[in-house]
């Protein structure tokens, strides 16, 4: 199993990402070109964002107080695909799309970009793990982790959470170390 790029994110934002709700992650640095189009793991920071905004969102979307997210601290809780970024082009008053096709960035994505962070990483194909991975020490920037379970590079399914093969309706199986039969079959059909 190859090492996977990982991004550490504070809760509740990490949970919002892996559940496909938060589609833009704010950063002061742009997306490294080596991970655009790739699935990355989402790691929960030890620190929780204790801001009023984070507490309100946690309560509204997850119906839980911020303290409930402490269980995820230091764990990798899922994956998402980085498809590009939104940024503030020099001298512009409005955001632009950098590093991805403008047609894939919806207005709904922009509500998650705060504009103060300079860059918003656009994410798709989020998939939470059924069971968060054991405690791992996070790092700033992109870092790499060797998963102890197979994770499909296309859809993010795992041994614990298989997807279904559209050809036969059966749970998928592994055809490569990081490719499930459902995704491999779809690629062959194209």
The whole-model pTM stands at: 0.82
Q: Where in the chain is the domain with CATH 2.30.130.30?
A: 4-145
Instruction: Tell me the DSSP string of 95-127.
Output: -EEESS-GGG--HHHHTT--STTSEEEEEEEEE
Which CATH number applies to 4-145: 2.30.130.30, 3.30.230.10, 3.40.50.300, 3.90.226.10? 2.30.130.30
Per-position pLDDT tens, the chain of length 190 = 689 999 999 999 999 999 999 998 988 888 898 999 999 999 999 999 999 988 898 888 888 888 888 889 999 999 999 988 877 655 555 555 665 556 566 666 666 766 566 788 889 999 999 888 888 888 889 999 998 888 998 999 888 888 887 778 888 899 998 899 898 876 554 4
């Amino acid at each position: 199993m190859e090492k996977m790029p990982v991004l550490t994110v504070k809760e509740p934002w990490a949970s919002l990402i892996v559940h496909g709700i938060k589609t833009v992650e704010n950063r002061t640095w742009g997306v490294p070109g080596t991970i655009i189009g790739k699935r990355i793991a989402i790691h929960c920071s030890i620190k929780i964002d204790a801001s009023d905004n984070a507490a309100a969102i946690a309560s509204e979307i997850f119906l839980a107080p911020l303290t409930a997210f402490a269980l995820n601290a230091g764990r990798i809780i899922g994956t998402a695909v980085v498809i590009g970024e939104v940024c503030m082009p020099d001298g512009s008053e409005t955001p632009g799309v950098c590093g991805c096709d403008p047609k894939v960035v919806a207005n709904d994505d922009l509500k998650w970009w705060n504009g103060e962070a300079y860059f918003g990483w656009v994410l798709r194909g989020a998939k939470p793990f059924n069971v968060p991975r054991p405690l791992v020490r996070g790092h700033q920037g992109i870092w790499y982790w060797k998963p102890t379970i197979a994770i499909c590079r296309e859809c993010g399914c795992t041994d614990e959470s298989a997807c279904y093969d559209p050809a036969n309706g059966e749970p998928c199986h592994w055809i490569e170390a990081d490719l499930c039969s459902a995704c491999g079959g779809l690629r062959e059909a194209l």
